[in-house]
Structure formats: structure tokens, C-alpha cells
Amino acid sequence: MRKGEQTRVAILEAALELASRDGLEGLTIGSLADKMGMSKSGVFAHFGSREDLQSEVLKLYHRNFEREVFLPSIAEARGLPRLKAMFARWVKRVSMEIASGCIYISGAVEYDDRPGPIREELADMVRTWQAALLRCVDQTIACGHLKADTDPQQLVFEMYGLILALHHDARFLRMPGSVPRAQAGFERLLMSYQQPA
């Protein structure tokens, strides 16, 4: 990479760290310039506007999520092994974000009633992940690993509920044992949907 591209990548990584901690709305050109030891105009030259910066941070977060959670999971066998891998990697990522925060979750709180392009971009990313989970559940049903009358949307909703509870209890309440509880909840959830032996 050329020096300008390297600088842009470094700024984006620092911006992601700040946004994870302070939220996307807490991300400012000034705070980023301070963190990078650059002038505001130097940071501004790479992005043009705060909204552009927020959008690029979202894209970086989404790429990281895909690389760490989605792509390795689809390498697993179709059906229950893949569904379990998706949830396990998702839990692992959330557990690593306990100290910093999950942009999908914090962003949903920040932008739930704030219309605009950042909200739409964030919502599209979450919908993309939900669609991947729905496809995986559909495949798991087709493989005969889950009951034929399983409601994929309900199962994905309940999986999301476990992740939100994990984030809430581990990050907000700092409750020990939150990760094993989420894992146990998922196993119990799967048992309720699986074909009887």
C-alpha cells in the first residue's frame, strides 16, 4: 500500500476502536485527530465528512464480522454443524467485545429512532446477517436436523435474544458466567427444535 492508503487504514482502525467505545455518534474528527496525533484537516482529507467516516467504520466492522464469524462458519458441514459454528463464533466475538462494545448492538440503540443513511446502512448489515442465519436454519431443516415445522424466523429471533442477553449481562451488569449461560441457552433452544432421537 502507498503511504496515503496506509494512513487511511490506520485512521479507520483507530476510528473503529473509538466508535466501539464511544458509539458512532461519539466519533468525531477531533477525537480521532487527537488519537492519531494528526491535525483535523489531515484526518478530514481522508474522509471528507463525519458521515463518510462513520460509514467507512461501519463497513470495516462488517468486514471484520464476516471474516471472523460468517466465512469460517460456512466452511463447516451444512446443517446443524454450520448453525452451531455460526452461533459459537458469534458468541466468541461478542465475548471479545465485552470490553469495547458491539457496534451492531450499540448502533441499534443510537440509531433506532434516528433516520438517515447511517441508520439504513447499519440496518442493512444486520439484515444481511439475519438473512445468513435464516438460510442456515432453512438448510438445517432441509438436512433433517431440525423438525420440519420449525419456524426459521422464530429460531433466529431467539438466537438474537440470547446474544442481546449475553451482551447486556456481560457488558452492562458485568455478570460472570454470562458466556456459558448463552451457550447453554442455545443448546436448550436447539433441543426444542431438533428431531426426536
Given pLDDT bands bounded at 50, 70 and 90, which one contains residue 1? Answer: low
86 occurs within a structural domain: yes
Q: pLDDT (tens digit, 9 = 90+) per residue, 85-128?
A: 999 999 999 988 887 878 999 899 899 899 999 999 999 999 99
151 occurs within a structural domain: yes
Query: What is the spatial distance between Cα 63 and Cα 71, in angstroms, rounded to a whole number?
Result: 10
Whether residue 149 is predicted with pLDDT greater than 80 in this model: the reply is yes
* pLDDT (mean) for 146-165: 97
* pLDDT (mean) for 4-31: 90
CA neighbor of 20 nearest in space, from 100, 96, 90, 98:
100
Total domains in the chain come to 1
CA neighbor of 168 nearest in space, from 72, 79, 98:
98
* pLDDT (mean) for 11-25: 92
Residue identified by cell 477525537 is 31
User: Can you give the pTM of this predicted structure?
Assistant: 0.91
Residue identified by cell 487527537 is 34
80 occurs within a structural domain: yes
Q: Quick one: pLDDT at residue 196?
A: 74
CB 4 within 8 A of CB 12: no
Mean pLDDT taken over the chain: 93
4 occurs within a structural domain: no
CB 132 within 8 A of CB 114: no
115 occurs within a structural domain: yes
Q: Is residue 194 helix, strand or coil?
A: strand
185 occurs within a structural domain: yes
Packing angle of the helix pair 40-47, 50-65 (nearest 10 deg): 70
User: Which range marks the domain in which residue 103 is found?
Assistant: 55-193
135 occurs within a structural domain: yes
60 occurs within a structural domain: yes
Query: What is the spatial distance between Cα 146 and Cα 126, in angstroms, rounded to a whole number?
Result: 24
Q: What is the CATH number of the domain that holds 82?
A: 1.10.357.10
Q: Quick one: pLDDT at residue 158?
A: 98
Q: Which of 66-75, 108-117, 165-174 has the highest mean pLDDT?
A: 66-75
